[in-house]
Amino acid sequence: MINVTKPFLPPYEEYRHYLEGIWERNWLTNNGPLVNDLELKLKEYLKIKHLLFLSNGTIALQIAIKALGLKGEIITTPFSYVATTSSIVWEGCKPVFVDIDPKTLNIDAAKIEERITDKTTGILATHVYGNPCDVEAIEVIAKKHNLKVIYDAAHAFGVTYKGRSLFEYGDISTASFHATKIFHSTEGGAVISNDPELIKTMSLLRNFGHSSSETFGPAGINGKNSEFHAAMGLAVLKHIDALLLARKTQAAAYDKALATLNVQRPEILNGAAWNYSYYPIVFETEEQLLKSVETLNGHWIYPRRYFYPSLSTLDYVDKYEVPISESISRRSLCLPMYHSLKQEDIDFIARLLLRVQNNPI
């Protein structure tokens, strides 16, 4: 069976090495030494100033919204994972959808201003598949209208834009280190910001608001992560360069094998060094997608419809016209991509897709 992704497990001995330390110290959670070490090593690897390791990428979004004090309306993209929208609603704000650019599949910066009202306080955009949003245009709009910017950078581990970590753009970026992401700690996430005051606030928020053992700052939540998760993160981080390289090689193999397949691929923003974390294709019609999925499933191959449905169709959001997102979400498919996927698997998947295209019934 070939799934869209398969979590990477480091050699067991490498993980056990960290577990032995946990047993020696008897320190399981609450800002332990492995959590600190992981935060330090991630900052070094990504060349960023500040990062807080959290329990997951959804809590990261919620803490970011809370730390920036966003209220009222938040401009966002309908083409993302559901956590992007549900976090806005969970924080008592209203998601206001702006359609996506049909080439990059990210929020269309040129359409943001027409949805800004006197209730808008922020923009929450996703770097879809790790492809950077038009961060410069978004920054100009945010400054002009005094809005805060959060990037859901769950897919963007290791991506740089103009030589800088993509995580450093916006007021806050959030990351997910879920098992299915390219870098993971089983469950996990992070917030990244260049503003030390925001980092201080978020470190209070992730720990119940404790400013000391008996004093409390803002109303917080439990967003910390454990030594066991940090251990997995540290063990995976040792292999990250190989994991990123494997994705790049596989993307090139797909590109070659699928050269004659009639699908659209997202256009990567100029100036970006991408991480190839997914292999998305956009069919001309949903019917072609469904036939392709059926054929692949018949051979025990399970691609995923990322992202379907368009979040604008959720039953707990107000309706906005976002025809491009609704059309693309019906036609986009992520092909299998993970460290141990073989060249022959890629060739087989490509042959099946071409067979569906060339033998329409």
Ligand X SMILES: *Cc1c(COP(=O)(O)O)cnc(C)c1O
Residue nearer to ligand X on the CB measure, 224 or 288: 224
Closer CB to ligand X, residue 128 or residue 147?
A: 128
Q: Give Cα separations from 303 to 175, 281, 294, 331, 333 (angstroms).
A: 23, 11, 10, 13, 7
Other C-beta atoms lying within 10 Å of the C-beta of residue 289: 22
Binding footprint of ligand X, residue count (CB under 6 A): 14
Among the residues of the chain, which ranges form H helices? Answer: 12-25, 33-46, 57-67, 82-90, 135-145, 196-205, 227-237, 240-257, 286-298, 323-331, 343-358
Calpha distance 336→296 (Å, rounded): 11
Could you say whether residue 106 binds ligand X (CB under 6 A)?
no
Strand order across the beta sheet in which 172-176 lies: 51-54, 189-192, 172-176, 148-152, 120-126, 73-76, 94-97
Residue 121 or 176 with smaller CB distance to ligand X: 176
76 binds ligand X (CB under 6 A): no
Of residues 144 through 203, those in contact with ligand X by CB under 6 A are: 152, 154-155, 176, 178, 189
**Sequence-ordered list of residues with C-beta below 8 angstroms from that of 147, at least 6 positions apart, any chain:** 75, 116, 120, 121, 122, 123, 141
Rounded to the nearest whole angstrom, what is the least distance from the CB of residue 32 to ligand X in the complex? 20
Minimal CB distance residue for ligand X:
57
Q: Which stretch binds ligand X (CB under 6 A): 51-59, 67-75, 97-105, 326-334?
A: 51-59
Among 76, 106, 126, 131, binds ligand X (CB under 6 A): 126
Residue 132 in the binding site for ligand X (CB under 6 A):
no
80 vs 288 by CB, closer to ligand X: 80
| Among residues 83, 172, 204, 296, the one that binds ligand X under rule CB under 6 A | 83
The residues binding ligand X (CB under 6 A) are: 56-58, 80-81, 83-84, 126, 152, 154-155, 176, 178, 189
